[in-house]
């Protein structure tokens, strides 16, 4: 759990240290949140290892996380995948939406990992 907290914070530090192209920004935001989610799931459910994003999704449902939080996490994941795999540059509107999603998700999961 602690390694995921460290990695999430490390990723977020990158966001604060440099100006990033939109595709990299959305990708770093997703991976920061993915680590907050993993830290939460390890603590809340006692799972030792989470193999992939699909398993994390399943575990979020198992943990009975509210649907709007799960939706935000998936939206951020899909925006990251679009940028990484399909070369879709996030528009300024999408980027702002993903920034807000990241902040909402961080504020939801991070306190639950302490």
Are the beta carbons of 11 and 28 closer than 8 angstroms?
yes
pLDDT for the residue 71: 97
Are the beta carbons of 113 and 1 closer than 8 angstroms?
yes
pLDDT for the residue 18: 79
CATH number at residue 38: 1.20.120
Task: Kindly report the number of other CB atoms within 10 A of residue 49's CB atom.
Answer: 7
Q: What is the pLDDT of residues 24-38, one digit of tens each?
A: 999 999 999 999 999
Domain of residue 43 covers 2-113
- Overall domain count for the chain: 1
Q: What is the pLDDT of residues 72-88, one digit of tens each?
A: 999 999 999 999 999 99
Are the beta carbons of 31 and 105 closer than 8 angstroms?
no
In this structure, what DSSP letter does residue 52 have?
S
Structure pTM?
A: 0.95
H/E element, 105: helix 92-109
Rg (CA), the chain: 13
Which has the higher per-residue pLDDT, 99 or 16?
Answer: 99
């Amino acid at each position: 759990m602690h390694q995921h907290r460290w990695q999430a914070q490390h990723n977020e530090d990158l966001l604060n240290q440099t100006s990033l192209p939109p595709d990299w920004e959305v990708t770093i935001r997703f991976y920061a949140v993915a680590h907050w989610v993993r830290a939460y799931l390890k603590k809340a459910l006692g799972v030792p290892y989470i193999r992939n994003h699909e398993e994390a999704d399943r575990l979020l449902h198992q943990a009975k996380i509210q649907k709007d939080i799960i939706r935000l996490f998936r939206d951020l994941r899909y925006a990251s995948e679009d940028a990484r795999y399909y070369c879709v540059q996030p528009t300024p509107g999408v980027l702002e939406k993903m920034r807000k999603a990241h902040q909402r998700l961080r504020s939801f999961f991070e306190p639950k990992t302490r």
